[in-house]
Amino acid sequence: MAIGAGPIRDFPSGRDYQEALQHTHLCFSHPDLKDAIPELDKLRQPRPISGNFASVFSLTNRTTGRRYAVKCFTRHVPDQETRYQAISRQLEALAPASLSQPWKMGFEYLPDAIQVGPGRFPVLKMEWVDGVTLSTWLDHHHRDSRSVDSVADRFAALATDLALHGIAHGDLQHGNLLVSQDGTLRLVDYDGMYVPALAGQGGTERGHRNYQSPTRGGDDFDSAVDRFSTWVIFLALKAVAADPGLWAQLHEPKGEYLLLTEDDFKNPSASPRFPALLSHPDRAVRDLADQVRYLAWQPLDSLPALMSPTTAPAAPPPPPHGQPSASSGALPGWMSHHLPPTASTPAAPPATPPSRFAGRRPGDTVAAVLMTVTAVSSLLSLAAGLVPYALPSASLTVLITWVARRSRDEVRLFRAYLRSLRQRRREISKPEKAAADLQRERLLLDAAEDRRKQQLPGQRQELLRQHQHNAATIERQKAQTLTDIDRRTAALDGELKAALNRATADERASFVQRELHRSRVADARLQGIGDKLKADLAACGIRSAADFTGIRLKNTTSGGYRNTTAVIVRSGGQEVNVKGIGEAKARALDAWRRQRAQAAESRCAVSLPPTQRRSIEADFNQQRMRLSDQRRATETEADRQLSLAAQRLQTAQAQLTADAEAAADQARRQREEFARRALRIQNAQSEYADLETAFTEARFIRRSLSHARYIRFALADR
């Protein structure tokens, strides 16, 4: 059963497993684990060693006393059982005698092995390894240079074992490398291991960040994923072996790294640790540090595999004193011991061109005909005494044959051959100058590469800075728009309440107005106002309490007396003066109106009609929906702009990476050419005699391909 083939299931937490392992006689059915004794912590609970997606417990069988490491998974891993089966088959096929040391550990995948709550879950049962992690071992042994150097060589041998069998661990780091008492290494945690049977499948993890190349992606899963990690670990071990003080200088106590971290790989120019290695007095340390710095931004599959000196090809003998090394422009000779053998052939001498013309072409036939015609024409001109006309014909013949001869492949090959011989002679005649020129070109290339590598993090940072600025601008504009929408949305409740209040007030005012219309002046008992005055009021348009809004008193002076005139204010604002209505009667009339208005208001129990209320609420709901739509549209547009910005960043980063890879590839090819040139310069003296022989032969070939020989060949084909 492959548990990865089904739907993703929820796994217990480390705490859940800890509780279950308090009763191993109940949670396990496997005979090696049932009723086993777990290692306990200070709280008398099973002690877990937690990782990315599993917790490991130490269990000892009560009967046999054998100790096991039991890995309990805390999250789903696709095709988990299938992967472990492929890894198990690959490791079982490795004969112990073919390995540099007993680094592989036995394990058994047990589906449905442990009961946790109502469900059963798989575990991985592994041999228990007696050893300490590489980091802990270095804490105690970094001053023993010989032992550290021995562990470095054993690590190179382990890396060679993996590379030769097409295996990659996937997470090479200090915690997964255990040093046993005899100084040999053990490799643990095979969750992310690659074996050839898993080719084409994706990886399950990306490895510890302080040991991985910045170029490693989630899809990288092949035999090359360990290459950068091996160089990082090998550099740390060799550096500490050469200078034990580097451990205290560059390693923090309990730090999750050896000497270098992820930030050092991503930005070597700003690294606080790289300079100590790049400027170290020991050349091996400097070269290895420069190698790791160079490899940090190269594609994983283009990195060289770390090889043990016992399996790498023997180093070439040193060059004679005063001559440049054959490795000029490439890696130092000592480092080639740790690189896989590469096919190389000495530069072949240029091929000797044909020594005679062969195979007439249509152009040669045309040249022969033209030569014959011009020769006959010249002879006839001379016979007729027309010497001036014979010279152009002869010149034309020479020009035709010269052009036809130079177009022949034999002549072009000979000229190229002669140029190559002259170039070689210049190199051989002045090897010191050629070596100096080569060294100058190599230094220029190194300087250009250093500048390019130093600029690359800044260029990446600038792309990221621009992206962050654009994203921040988009987010700021989005926040401003959403704040305005939220403010307008929040104000709608108050506006709805005010609108309802206004509508209710209008309804109440209409009710009062209707009641005032029913209050007739003619029916009212008004002190001092009889029927005649009521008729006069009606004649002025004041028939009910609704026809006027109040009274206004005006003081006037006439004949030295001060008089008060009362006017009645109509509903439309007009003022009416009714004869016989003075101040007292006007006040009585106004008091009557106010009384009727107060009585109407006290009886008013008016509320908005449901239809009107729903209409008002519907208007505000539409406004609220429009604002909600604007909010969603704003968020959608902001998300779209952010997505486009992220796409532009990815495209720019991909282009920058592609340009960097192309530049690095070009530099690599140039360094290879430097190495070939250096080898040719080194072997210049031994080539000198052969070159002189080649020049002698070239003189005979030149005569065989001369102008006269071509004319003879064109005319007679021999």
For the domain that residue 156 is a member of, what is the CATH number? 1.10.510.10
- The whole-angstrom separation of Cα 223 and Cα 708 is 64
Range with the poorest average pLDDT among 115-124, 313-322, 597-606, 707-716: 313-322
User: What is the Cα 490 distance to its own chain's centre?
Assistant: 42
Alpha helix ranges (H) inside 384-430: 387-406, 409-429
Phi, psi of 570 (to 5 degrees): -70, 170
CATH number at residue 70: 3.30.200
Residue recorded with tokens 């451990």: 247
Residues 76 and 143 in one domain: no
Please report whether residue 704 resides in a domain.
no
Please report whether residue 649 resides in a domain.
no
Decide: helix, strand or coil at residue 29.
coil
Please report whether residue 648 resides in a domain.
no
Please report whether residue 555 resides in a domain.
yes
- The whole-angstrom separation of Cα 204 and Cα 219 is 9
- pLDDT of res. 238: 95
Please report whether residue 45 resides in a domain.
yes
- pLDDT of res. 250: 94
Average pLDDT over residues 49-70: 88
Give the chain's length: 718
Most confident of 206-215, 225-234, 600-609: 225-234
- The whole-angstrom separation of Cα 124 and Cα 55 is 11
Q: Judge contact between 340 and 307, C-beta under 8 A.
A: yes
Residues 154 and 280 in one domain: yes
Residue 115 pLDDT exceeds 80: yes
Please report whether residue 70 resides in a domain.
yes
Decide: helix, strand or coil at residue 500.
helix
User: What is the Cα 395 distance to its own chain's centre?
Assistant: 70
Q: Judge contact between 47 and 39, C-beta under 8 A.
A: yes
Range with the poorest average pLDDT among 53-62, 466-475, 595-604: 595-604
- pLDDT of res. 122: 92
Residues 271 and 297 in one domain: yes
- The whole-angstrom separation of Cα 394 and Cα 330 is 59
- pLDDT of res. 710: 78
Find the distance separating the first CA and the last CA of the chain, reported in whole Å: 82
Q: Judge contact between 332 and 283, C-beta under 8 A.
A: yes
Q: What is the dihedral of CA 249, 250, 256, 257, to 10 degrees?
A: -130
Encoding tokens for residue 670? 């140039």
Kind and range of the H or E run holding 566: strand 561-570
- The whole-angstrom separation of Cα 609 and Cα 273 is 81
Residues 115 and 22 in one domain: yes
User: What is the Cα 472 distance to its own chain's centre?
Assistant: 19
Q: pLDDT tens across 555-576, in order?
A: 877 666 777 788 889 988 888 8
- The whole-angstrom separation of Cα 588 and Cα 540 is 18
Residue 34 pLDDT exceeds 70: yes
Is 590 or 53 the better-scoring residue by pLDDT?
590
Confidence of residue 632 (pLDDT cuts 50, 70, 90): very high
Residues 106 and 216 in one domain: no
Among the three residues 603, 622, 642, which one is the final residue of a domain in this structure? 603
Residues 33 and 85 in one domain: yes
Among the three residues 603, 624, 646, which one is the final residue of a domain in this structure? 603
Encoding tokens for residue 227? 């290459």
Confidence of residue 451 (pLDDT cuts 50, 70, 90): confident
Confidence of residue 350 (pLDDT cuts 50, 70, 90): low
Confidence of residue 424 (pLDDT cuts 50, 70, 90): confident
Average pLDDT over residues 139-146: 94
Nearest Cα to Cα of residue 18 among 160, 114, 157? 114
Confidence of residue 585 (pLDDT cuts 50, 70, 90): confident
Residue 477 pLDDT exceeds 70: yes
Report the share of the chain in percent with pLDDT over 70.
Answer: 86
Average pLDDT over residues 440-452: 84
Domain span holding position 553: 512-603
- The whole-angstrom separation of Cα 132 and Cα 66 is 19
User: Which pTM does this prediction carry?
Assistant: 0.48
Q: Judge contact between 504 and 607, C-beta under 8 A.
A: yes
Please report whether residue 596 resides in a domain.
yes
- pLDDT of res. 184: 93
Residues 165 and 301 in one domain: yes
Q: Judge contact between 363 and 430, C-beta under 8 A.
A: no
Average pLDDT over residues 491-519: 88
Confidence of residue 430 (pLDDT cuts 50, 70, 90): low
Q: pLDDT tens across 519-543, in order?
A: 998 888 888 888 898 888 888 889 9
3-state percent helix, strand, coil for the chain, nearest multiple of 5: 60, 10, 30
Among the three residues 306, 338, 370, which one is the final residue of a domain in this structure? 338
Residues 146 and 208 in one domain: yes
Residues 47 and 79 in one domain: yes
Bridge-based pairing state of the strands 107-116 and 67-73: unpaired
Residues 85 and 221 in one domain: no
Phi, psi of 554 (to 5 degrees): -125, 130
Q: What is the DSSP string of 611-664?
A: HHHHHHHHHHHHHHHHHHHHHHHHHHHHHHHHHHHHHHHHHHHHHHHHHHHHHH
Phi, psi of 552 (to 5 degrees): -140, 130
- pLDDT of res. 429: 66
Residues 198 and 287 in one domain: yes
Residue 221 pLDDT exceeds 70: yes
Average pLDDT over residues 125-129: 87
Residue 54 pLDDT exceeds 80: yes
Q: Judge contact between 684 and 346, C-beta under 8 A.
A: no
Encoding tokens for residue 224? 């090359």
Residues 163 and 269 in one domain: yes
Question: Mean pLDDT, the chain, as a whole number?
Answer: 83
Kind and range of the H or E run holding 113: strand 107-116
Q: Judge contact between 27 and 21, C-beta under 8 A.
A: yes
Q: Judge contact between 445 and 666, C-beta under 8 A.
A: no
- pLDDT of res. 414: 84
Nearest Cα to Cα of residue 144 among 256, 252, 237? 237
The number of beta carbons lying within 10 Å of the beta carbon of residue 266 is 17
Phi, psi of 565 (to 5 degrees): -110, 135
Is 565 or 231 the better-scoring residue by pLDDT?
231
Residue 336 pLDDT exceeds 70: no
Decide: helix, strand or coil at residue 67.
strand
Residue 343 pLDDT exceeds 70: no
Residue 328 pLDDT exceeds 60: no
Query: 155 to each of 34, 188, 282, how far by Cα in Å?
Result: 37, 14, 21
Q: How many domains does the chain have?
A: 3
Average pLDDT over residues 452-467: 86
Residue recorded with tokens 């000892």: 60
Please report whether residue 497 resides in a domain.
no
Range with the poorest average pLDDT among 326-340, 381-395, 586-600: 326-340
Range with the poorest average pLDDT among 176-185, 357-366, 673-682: 673-682
Confidence of residue 419 (pLDDT cuts 50, 70, 90): confident
- pLDDT of res. 256: 93
Decide: helix, strand or coil at residue 260.
coil
